[in-house]
Amino acid sequence: MKAILTAFVAIAAASSAHAQSLPGGFVYLRDIDPSIIQDIRYATSNNFVGRPLRGYGAGECVVKREVGMRLKAVQQELSGQNLSLKMFDCYRPARASLDMVAWSQNGRETAAERRYNPKISKTELFRLGYIASRSQHSTGAALDLTLVDLKADNSAKYDSSKAYADCTAPVEARAPEGSVDMGTGYDCTDVKGHTAAPSIAPGQRAWRKRLVAAMSRQGFVNYSKEWWHFSLPGAGGAAYDFPIQPRKR
């Protein structure tokens, strides 16, 4: 979920943190399971804002250790089915949520931004709860992710020069994500993005159910309005604002 209004934020600023220096309890997911695919979209221009968000100094998934260990268990189950998790967002610095709010109120709206919000004006995203100044992601216990079929051709890459169809369009027309067809693209603020949306195809619904089931077996809970968003109850706590730095290899 882009943000959750009920999260409690106690910002622990660490703007000058050294690379790979994380607060206690946080880990780089690559150190837990390097086989999990990562495409941290807010560290790139391939997202609804169209640029890297504040605090994303590296495209790395950072999570609470318990969350990472449970993701590893999910990945182990999926690997026997020639599937993999693909992470879109993990820990999110609190400043990034504020960056989203500022973006929604900047008075401009481009065609590229409309791809993610085909039926909703960006000025309405805050009122409708799609964007808020406080996010559960900032606790390290919330995740945005999808599934990848490792037997499929996932070579298509996002091209910023192309005019893709909006996030509700058929998979062939919308921006490629190198994953299974979940019925909409990631971060799609539309009713088709609701996990149990009746308007998607049976095959797309089956993929969503498969993802929810695999995550549920490790205690993760899906947010009903976003098929990609999961959280681990009890693993959160205070929210943080330390920047995501490159992981030492």
Does 149 appear as a known binding residue? no
Residues 130, 133, 137, 141: is their CA dihedral positive or negative?
Answer: negative
66 annotated active-site: no
In three state form, how does the secondary structure of the chain look?
CCCCCCCCCCCCCCCCCCCCCCCCCEEEHHHHCCCCEECCHHHCCCCCCCCCCCCECCCCCEEEHHHHHHHHHHHHHHHCCCEEEEEEECCCCHHHHHHHHHHHCCCCCCHHHHCCCCCCCHHHCCCCCCCCCCCHHHHCCEEEEEEEECCCCCCCCCCCCCCCECCCCCCCCECCCCCCCCCCCCCCCCHHHCCCCCCCCHHHHHHHHHHHHHHHCCCCEEECCEEEEEECCCCCCCCCCCCECCCCC
Closest among 222, 220, 177 to 195, alpha carbons compared: 222
**Dihedral in degrees, nearest 10, Cα atoms 106, 111, 114, 119:** 110
Does 18 appear as a known binding residue? no
What positions carry a catalytic annotation? 226
Binding residues for Zn(2+) are 137, 144, 229
Binding residues are 137, 144, 229
